[in-house]
């Protein structure tokens, strides 16, 4: 259990590192957003291909197959591109907060659409979280860029779609590799176009490669490895720590000041989502007990 906890912490640090690395590279003008996205996708595909290859060598008789789907690859590409462009305009902590708030609320909304009606506490949690997000992006002196926030919301919707697409996956690592490989051609094109538009510095390339190969490729592999040991509610809860980690990383590595608006909206969004998810899990457990008693 200690090993699972340690790997989970590493995965969350990797997710938060994506926000910090993107802001370091793009905020400082070390690389173009298109080039950053392309290098990230290519290096992520290379890392995942290497991991899958090593695993196949250990498994006798394992045959190659391209997992994933074009739908998943499209969602992954949309997320990666919108994520990169958004970080030209907003800070690491704010971006991570908007991204993960959008993902969680999208997942909750999809559950409602599929017929899972929320109870009173769940509805309250959703309302509080949505109110916190509206407050964060509402006009004001310290509000984030409207276009940057909109792009990050788009990235969150794409990531939620990617997650829903892969929920039934029996081989998450292979499917993730397949989605990255499907993005490889457009990733190479973006990398070339990005270099032509704005020649990246060695530092910018290093940030992009670290984000793709380590924070994305390796981070996703670690996360999928621990998911079977976590319940759905625990997996959701631990991801709520990512915005806080990213905000701390922004303060430490990029000198981004934590604003009162960010702190208050973080409490509202994370608290509201946690309340909604917790209430949903309690309702599910109560139903299981009632069904067992029948």
For residue 124, the enclosing domain spans 2-293
Q: What is the pLDDT of residue 206?
A: 95
Please give the Cα distance from 268 to 126 (Å, whole number): 10
Look at the block and give the residue holding tokens 């190969």.
213
Assigned token pair, 80 = 């990666």
Please give the Cα distance from 90 to 158 (Å, whole number): 19
Mean pLDDT of 44-56: 87
Please give the Cα distance from 22 to 88 (Å, whole number): 9
Please give the Cα distance from 24 to 77 (Å, whole number): 21
Whether residue 292 is predicted with pLDDT greater than 60 in this model: the reply is: yes
DSSP 145: P
C-alpha dist (Å) from residue 214 to 13, 43, 51, 220, 267: 11, 9, 12, 9, 29
DSSP secondary structure string for all residues of 201-249: PHHHHHHHHIIIIIIIIIHHHHHHHHGGGS-HHHHHHHHTTHHHHHHHH
How many residues belong to the chain? 294
Nearest 5°: the CA angle 82, 83, 87 is: 110
Contact status, residue 126 vs residue 76, Cβ threshold 8 Å: no
Q: pLDDT digits over 172-203, tens only?
A: 788 888 999 999 999 999 999 998 988 899 99
Q: What is the pLDDT of residue 250?
A: 83
As for how many domains the chain has, the answer is 1
Assigned token pair, 219 = 């981070």
More confident residue, 209 or 275: 209
Look at the block and give the residue holding tokens 């800070």.
91
Q: pLDDT digits over 224-256, tens only?
A: 778 777 766 666 667 777 887 888 888 888 877
């Amino acid at each position: 259990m200690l090993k699972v906890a340690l790997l989970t912490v590493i995965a969350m640090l990797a997710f938060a590192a994506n926000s910090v690395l993107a802001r370091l590279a793009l905020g400082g003008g070390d690389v173009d957003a298109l080039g950053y996205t392309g290098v990230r996708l290519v290096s992520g595909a290379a890392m995942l291909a290497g991991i899958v290859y090593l695993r196949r060598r250990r498994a006798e008789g394992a045959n190659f197959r391209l997992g994933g789907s074009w739908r998943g690859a499209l969602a992954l590409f949309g997320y990666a591109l919108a994520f990169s462009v958004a970080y030209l305009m907003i800070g690491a902590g704010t971006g991570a907060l908007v991204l993960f708030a959008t993902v969680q609320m999208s997942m909750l909304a999809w559950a409602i659409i599929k017929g899972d009606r929320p109870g009173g506490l769940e509805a309250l949690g959703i309302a509080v979280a949505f109110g916190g997000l509206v407050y964060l992006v509402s006009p004001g002196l310290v509000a984030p860029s409207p276009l940057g926030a909109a792009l990050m919301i788009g990235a969150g919707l794409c990531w939620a779609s990617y997650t829903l697409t892969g929920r039934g996956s029996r081989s998450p690592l292979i499917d993730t590799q397949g989605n990255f490989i499907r993005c490889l051609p457009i990733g190479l094109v973006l990398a070339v176009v990005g270099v032509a538009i704005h020649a990246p510095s060695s530092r910018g390339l290093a940030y992009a490669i670290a984000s793709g190969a380590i924070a994305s490729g390796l981070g996703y592999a670690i996360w999928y490895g621990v998911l079977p040991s976590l319940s759905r509610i625990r997996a959701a809860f631990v991801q709520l720590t990512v915005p806080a980690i990213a905000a701390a990383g922004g303060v430490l590595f990029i000198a981004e000041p934590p604003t009162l608006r960010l702190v208050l909206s973080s409490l509202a969004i994370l608290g509201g989502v946690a309340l909604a998810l917790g209430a949903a899990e309690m309702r599910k457990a109560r139903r299981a007990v009632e069904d067992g008693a029948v």
